[in-house]
C-alpha cells in the first residue's frame, strides 16, 4: 500500500545542507543519504508497529523499511512486506486453497487494517453476490464501516520533522571522519 505522503524541507536548510553535501564525491553523498534514510526508516517502522493493533500479529511483524539507490536518486520507503506464492500450481485451484497460498505474507491485507473496510450484515440475502462492484455500487448505505488505524500515515507524519536532523547528524559524522 502506498501513501501520497512526502516530506517538504525548509528551502534555506535544504540549500545549506546541499552545499555541505556537494563538498564530497557522489559516492559519499549517496552513502550519507542512505545511512540517514535507513536510520529514519527505523524510526518510522517503530512508530508504525506501535500504532498497529497487537491482535493483527503477522501484520504488525511485517512492517519493514527499504532504501534503494537509482540513477542519481536515493529512495526510501516503509511498508508491509508482501510475499509471492511459491506454489504456482496451487494458484489454479480456487477457493480456500488459493487464499491459503496468498496468506503467506500480510502485505496484501494491510490496507484493511490501515484504511478500514465495510462488512455486509450477515442477514443480507445479497451478501457476497452480484457484480455491483463493477458498476461502482459500493455498499450503498448498508453494512458496517470498520475504521482503519492509519498507522503508516500517522507514523510518517509524526516522524517527518526528524528526517533533516538525521541527515545533518550523518553528514556531521562523515565530516569528522574525513577530517581526521
Q: Name which of 13, 74, 37 is nearest 170 in CA terms.
A: 37
Give me the pLDDT at residue 87, please.
Answer: 65
Give me the pLDDT at residue 180, please.
Answer: 74
Cα-only R_g, the chain: 22
pLDDT digits (tens, 9 = 90+) for 43-68: 999 999 888 887 777 778 888 899 99
**Percent of the chain predicted with pLDDT > 90:** 15
**Percent of the chain predicted with pLDDT > 70:** 69
Question: Which residues 6+ apart lie within 8 Å of 28 measured at CB?
Answer: 174
Q: What angle do CA 108, 38, 48 make, to 5 degrees?
A: 45
Helix (H) or strand (E) holding 98: helix 96-102
Give me the pLDDT at residue 67, please.
Answer: 94
DSSP structure class, residue 119: E
Q: What domain range is 166 assigned to? A: 11-179
Domains of the chain: total:
1
pLDDT digits (tens, 9 = 90+) for 7-29: 666 778 778 877 887 788 888 88
In a domain, 3, yes or no: no
Mean pLDDT confidence for 94-99: 68
Q: pTM score > 0.85 for this model?
A: no
In a domain, 4, yes or no: no
In a domain, 109, yes or no: yes
In a domain, 5, yes or no: no
In a domain, 153, yes or no: yes
In a domain, 2, yes or no: no
Amino acid at each position: 500500500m502506498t501513501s501520497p505522503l512526502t516530506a517538504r524541507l525548509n528551502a534555506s536548510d535544504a540549500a545549506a545542507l546541499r552545499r555541505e553535501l556537494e563538498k564530497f564525491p557522489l559516492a559519499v553523498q549517496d552513502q550519507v543519504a542512505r545511512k540517514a534514510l535507513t536510520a529514519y526508516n527505523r524510526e518510522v517502522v517503530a512508530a508504525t508497529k506501535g500504532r498497529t493493533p497487537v491482535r493483527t500479529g503477522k501484520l504488525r511483524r511485517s512492517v519493514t523499511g527499504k532504501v534503494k539507490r537509482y540513477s542519481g536518486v536515493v529512495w526510501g520507503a516503509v511498508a508491509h512486506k508482501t510475499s509471492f506464492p511459491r506454489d504456482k500450481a496451487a494458484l489454479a485451484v480456487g477457493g480456500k486453497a488459493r487464499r491459503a497460498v496468498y496468506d503467506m505474507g500480510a502485505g496484501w491485507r494491510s490496507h484493511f487494517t490501515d484504511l478500514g473496510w465495510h462488512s455486509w450484515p450477515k442477514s443480507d440475502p445479497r451478501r457476497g453476490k452480484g457484480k455491483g462492484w463493477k458498476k461502482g455500487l459500493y455498499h450503498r448505505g448498508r453494512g458496517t464501516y470498520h475504521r482503519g488505524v492509519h498507522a503508516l500515515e500517522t507514523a510518517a507524519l509524526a516522524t517527518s520533522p526528524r528526517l533533516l536532523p538525521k541527515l545533518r547528524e550523518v553528514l556531521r559524522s562523515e565530516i569528522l571522519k574525513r577530517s581526521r
